[in-house]
Structure 1
Amino acid sequence: MNEIPLEEAEPARKAFGDLTEGERDVVREALATIARDTAVGREIPGWRAPSVEYTYTTRLASDSAEAITVVYTHTPGLGITVVYYFRDPQVLD
């Protein structure tokens, strides 16, 4: 699948700057995954059509309960906009 154009909103750029280098590496991997398949995240219901808003959460490490969540929107034909990144202290499935 072709990669979909991806850009960051200003709040996401600021949040990225607040992450540690290890967290940034996890975010870069998450963005590569999202660019390959926009529906990899969990859809947030009730978003304005034609855009769909998603959250994608990935562990910081294989043995960690902490994670990074990427909030993004996908508009078919226009691409992906990353809205925000945040540390997510949760246990993933």
Structure 2
Amino acid sequence: MSEVPLEEAEPARKAYGDLTEGERELVRDALAVIVRDPAVGREIPGWRPPSVEYTYTTPLAHDSAEAITVVYTHTHGMGVTVVYYFRDPQVVGR
């Protein structure tokens, strides 16, 4: 199975630079999951085809309410574009 091509938009690159090393590690793990299956995230309704916009959230720790969220778009046949990364203090579960 081939992986989906992935690129980062400029706002995502800047946000990545503001993350701690531990948060960056979580982002790298999340991106590995996303490139294997772009539909793994939660679809954001109202986005116009052919692209679909998603969020993928991963907890900072097993027992943590805080998380890192990756916002990305997927265009079938073209790949994934990461729009932004952010620390989400309000997430309770996956």
Give the unaligned 5+ runs of structure 1: none
RMSD: 0.8
TM-score (norm 2): 0.96
CA-CA distance at 1:92 after TM superposition: 1.1
Which residue in the other structure is 1:85 paired with? 85
User: What is the CA–CA distance in structure 1 between the aligned matches of 2:45 and 2:38, rounded to whole Å?
Assistant: 15
Residue deviations 1:2-40 (CA, integer Å, cap 9, x gap): 210000000000000000000000000000000000000
Deviating above 4 A after TM superposition, structure 1's stretches of 4 or more consecutive aligned residues are: none
Kindly, what percent of the aligned residue pairs are identical? 81
- What letter matches 1:69 in structure 2? T
Residue deviations 1:21-77 (CA, integer Å, cap 9, x gap): 000000000000000000000001111210000000000111211100000000011
Give the unaligned 5+ runs of structure 2: none
Matched residues, number: 93
TM-score (norm 1): 0.97
Matches within 5 A, 1:1-93: 1-89=1-89, 90-93=91-94
